[in-house]
Structure 1
């Protein structure tokens, strides 16, 4: 057996004390969950014996203990897949057919599941179903890219870079739009978003013995959201829209322009000197968030600078869209087209020029370093082009792919877990559950991978209200408890 295609000859990674302690905590939760279930069953049985069997019990929500117990079972499967030799691993084998054929299948399935959008704002540009759809099909394409090893082809690599930039763009646009409409820049909102982004990743760090930067895109999204939230939270504030007028004061746009300029200044200062950048991010105690397993920050520097302007592109688009709504430059309150006939033709032409320019750039670029340097300045072209093509027509804007939107809801879980239950050997190989049958193996591993990610999404939602309550004082208390647990671990590992 080729060593690179199997795990019979490789020594499994030893289990650390932190991993053992984490699994012990999951086991304790499982025991408590079983005891709780037995007690509830005995109470129900007692009521039936007393003649109260017809009393309808109210539906119960998943308790945090039960959710952690279920999560522990999933993490055990993750551990068996990627930290032991219990299952085989094999190499990735790229070919043109192995990449483009699955992408074609994905597109065909997504089109088959198109449906009318049901949200109250279904005609609005980038409404919820549409953004979920966008995240969903991008994530599926990225998964095909990962499992086939297509990163060796430079044009495909750059096109996938554009998809990752699109996710950051949606982060900037979505949080700007939410803040503009609600004015909510409170700690509860911040910690809920951060918890939603990082809970599963932190659990994976503890159970799989991997640094936070191993899941590189999640630290990137968390950092940019934190920076954007800090700018929004600094005075002058963005006042929430009045429920009567639903219009912002003109000075609000000036405030947002100043905040965007502040964001660009911070980014430019950090980018001007890699030495200064490293001094900022290797400062304790947050150094552990930005270095890899070799205590090196270079990978974070590369990831950060490639999309350093993308969040700003999202915010700028959001402000431009709100201005266009205010001055009736577009009409997205119904099923009609956004612009007049002539305006729609011009916008469509501009969209094709933007997307075509970026695609041409990916084929003309000769090396990954130069491509990545240019990408940060032109990444908005395919993003703006796609938004125009997707929203100009009212018929297209008010429909979406329910399949892609379903995957879009679990994008974070899919991204974080792909390294351990679908890929293997720290993303360098592919997990093998069914040897000598690659197609059947891919079907089985994909099924388990997708629905494990969906279950983790549901469990995170069940734990969220307990971890981040509505009261900001309780939120700070829980955060202090989290730090009290994390700091001894960091000291033990030499991170702090």
Structure 2
């Protein structure tokens, strides 16, 4: 028995707050707007303008020419906006508007599910009861299922065996997220120390990934900044409105937002220093800043008080205190710096590994390369095993937390080396975990409301499955993952419409439209957007004070 179901929770008569009513009103207006436009399109005379002309079927010999003609056609959806004589501009713009409207409507329905699950409590609560046997059984079973989704990147594909490639890092995030979620669901307190390492890995990836992006692309634009802030905070912001929860309840979001901003500032200020020895000065300043903020708690609390419980925008306050923020962010305070250092020295590490794996040369040189790899592995294994046996598995969480900020780098660097030790391992990835890794933000946020309840302290139980805890776990997980995937897609649609896509043929988004608009019009559009953003900020500020 995994969980004992508590008495049936009756629907709550919780009062609707002003922000919730405001959000519901916006949703209703979007529904009405979408319905009116849809009906108008169908009732409009000559409604065939809503259909795009398709290129006639072509034989094999003409297929490439036909595809090229379709791509360049003025009536192709990707090009019609730029066409000087578009026959159906209303249709094209409605297509984009309809996509946004559908996303907002679906988002509203999903958020109503969130409200019903964890605010109105229309579902029974389940008690979390830990069983090591069941916890390990489920985790191992998921790993076995993931093995069935194993993919091997062909050697002929570009960067097939790249160190820390995208598929690998997403897989890494995925299996850690599975452990993190099961830790919450089954209340597996004995795995707390391991979960702390998982979270440190996420923060490491924030430093590694964002440093790599800025270093390679040199894109320090406000568009990139706001697009990342939107990705990290849009979903949690609307959920805070719907549930009246504090932002810090979802501490992963403010924590990753802060560390992303720290990388952005690090790379954007004196960006020309990023490509010569002066970057070491920046690393030293960054390190000293972290030391000042967290090794001297009074300094950190003073600096972050601008977002504390008594500030106009108390986004870092939780239960009228900054203690939660200082604790959560401080546990992994050096991991972002470690990630940036790994990204900076990545070319050297990559060249070193490639040199050891050289396929040309004498037999002795090839053997020597393998022996060096094994020697490094053994040398890294000794401190890792010592750390695991004497600290990770031996200490309670209070004592462990005192050492975690200074020793978490050991398992992270060891895993990176082992996972990339051979070209074959780098080419292999488990697709199921890679998929989970792409929706980690959504699964983290959604778990509080449609998988668990009461700030992740009890289970959400579907009434027909109240006496079947494992069946309830299976069904609730399926619904929860489906909703998380939908939220991920919705966020991407809205992000693309706001900030545009990377594809030159794709939409430029609202940001690009403002950029291309004459200055006399753009300034009023910008003022309007910032006015709306200010109102939303004030609403969220009001929620966080409740």
User: Normalising by the residue count of structure 1, what TM-score does the alignment of the two structures yield?
Assistant: 0.87
Q: CA deviation at 1:370?
A: 2.0
Give CA deviations for 1:32-69 in whole Å, capped at 9, x if unaligned.
Answer: 22223333444598329xxx989448565563222111
Question: Relative to 1, partners in 2 of residues 1:415 and 1:478: Cα closer, same or farther, differing over 3 Å?
Answer: farther
Aligned to 2:476: 445
In the alignment, does 2:54 pair up with 1:25? Answer: no
CA–CA separation in structure 2 for the residues paired with 1:299 and 1:309: 18
In the alignment, does 2:124 pair up with 1:99? Answer: no
- Of stretches 164-173 and 357-366 in structure 1, the one that deviates more from structure 2 is 357-366
Aligned to 2:181: 143
Which of 513, 522, 536 aligns to 1:486? It is 536
Q: Is the 8 A contact 1:338 1:344 kept in 2?
A: no
CA–CA separation in structure 2 for the residues paired with 1:184 and 1:35: 40
Q: CA deviation at 1:312?
A: 0.8
Aligned to 2:232: 197
Aligned to 1:247: none
Unaligned runs of at least 5 residues, structure 1: 240-251
- Secondary structure at the aligned position of 1:115 is classed as strand
Aligned to 1:243: none
Q: Is the 8 A contact 1:467 1:478 kept in 2?
A: no
In the alignment, does 2:400 pair up with 1:404? Answer: no
In the alignment, does 2:308 pair up with 1:279? Answer: no
In the alignment, does 2:209 pair up with 1:174? Answer: yes
Q: Is the 8 A contact 2:244 2:543 kept in 1?
A: no
- Secondary structure at the aligned position of 1:400 is classed as strand
CA–CA separation in structure 1 for the residues paired with 2:357 and 2:206: 25
Give CA deviations for 1:405-452 in whole Å, capped at 9, x if unaligned.
Answer: 111111110111110000111100010012111122111111111011
Q: CA deviation at 1:129?
A: 0.7
- Secondary structure at the aligned position of 1:283 is classed as helix
Aligned to 1:423: 452
Question: Relative to 1, partners in 2 of residues 1:97 and 1:136: Cα closer, same or farther, differing over 3 Å?
Answer: same
Question: Relative to 1, partners in 2 of residues 1:254 and 1:8: Cα closer, same or farther, differing over 3 Å?
Answer: same
CA–CA separation in structure 2 for the residues paired with 1:338 and 1:257: 36
Question: Relative to 1, partners in 2 of residues 1:23 and 1:397: Cα closer, same or farther, differing over 3 Å?
Answer: same
Question: Relative to 1, partners in 2 of residues 1:290 and 1:232: Cα closer, same or farther, differing over 3 Å?
Answer: same
In the alignment, does 2:477 pair up with 1:454? Answer: no
Question: Relative to 1, partners in 2 of residues 1:424 and 1:54: Cα closer, same or farther, differing over 3 Å?
Answer: closer
- Secondary structure at the aligned position of 2:122 is classed as coil
Aligned to 2:158: 120
- Of stretches 483-492 and 15-24 in structure 1, the one that deviates more from structure 2 is 483-492
Aligned to 1:298: 323
Q: Is the 8 A contact 2:451 2:460 kept in 1?
A: yes
RMSD, matched Cα: 3.0
CA–CA separation in structure 2 for the residues paired with 1:349 and 1:191: 44
CA–CA separation in structure 1 for the residues paired with 2:330 and 2:125: 33
In the TM superposition, what are the counterparts of 1:290-329 in structure 2 within 5 Å? 290-292=316-318, 294-325=319-350, 328-329=351-352
- Of stretches 480-489 and 69-78 in structure 1, the one that deviates more from structure 2 is 480-489
Q: CA deviation at 1:275?
A: 2.2
Q: Is the 8 A contact 2:119 2:243 kept in 1?
A: yes
- Of stretches 466-475 and 372-381 in structure 1, the one that deviates more from structure 2 is 466-475
Question: Relative to 1, partners in 2 of residues 1:364 and 1:96: Cα closer, same or farther, differing over 3 Å?
Answer: closer
Question: Relative to 1, partners in 2 of residues 1:7 and 1:333: Cα closer, same or farther, differing over 3 Å?
Answer: farther
Question: Relative to 1, partners in 2 of residues 1:123 and 1:53: Cα closer, same or farther, differing over 3 Å?
Answer: closer
Q: CA deviation at 1:472?
A: 8.5
CA–CA separation in structure 2 for the residues paired with 1:116 and 1:449: 29
CA–CA separation in structure 1 for the residues paired with 2:238 and 2:358: 44
In the TM superposition, what are the counterparts of 1:335-354 in structure 2 within 5 Å? 340-354=369-383
In the TM superposition, what are the counterparts of 1:456-475 in structure 2 within 5 Å? 456-468=487-499, 469-470=511-512
Question: Relative to 1, partners in 2 of residues 1:457 and 1:477: Cα closer, same or farther, differing over 3 Å?
Answer: farther
In the TM superposition, what are the counterparts of 1:188-267 in structure 2 within 5 Å? 188-237=223-272, 252-267=275-290
Question: Relative to 1, partners in 2 of residues 1:321 and 1:77: Cα closer, same or farther, differing over 3 Å?
Answer: same
Aligned to 1:375: 404
Larger Rg, first or second structure (1 or 2): 2
Q: CA deviation at 1:287?
A: 4.7
- Of stretches 116-125 and 427-436 in structure 1, the one that deviates more from structure 2 is 116-125
- Secondary structure at the aligned position of 2:466 is classed as coil
- Secondary structure at the aligned position of 1:184 is classed as coil
Give CA deviations for 1:460-490 in whole Å, capped at 9, x if unaligned.
Answer: 1111133332478679767624532134325
Q: Is the 8 A contact 1:173 1:315 kept in 2?
A: yes
Unaligned runs of at least 5 residues, structure 2: 55-74, 78-94, 360-365, 500-510, 516-521
CA–CA separation in structure 2 for the residues paired with 1:233 and 1:165: 24
Q: CA deviation at 1:356?
A: 2.2
Question: Relative to 1, partners in 2 of residues 1:494 and 1:462: Cα closer, same or farther, differing over 3 Å?
Answer: closer
Q: CA deviation at 1:329?
A: 1.8
CA–CA separation in structure 2 for the residues paired with 1:450 and 1:139: 12
- Secondary structure at the aligned position of 2:373 is classed as helix
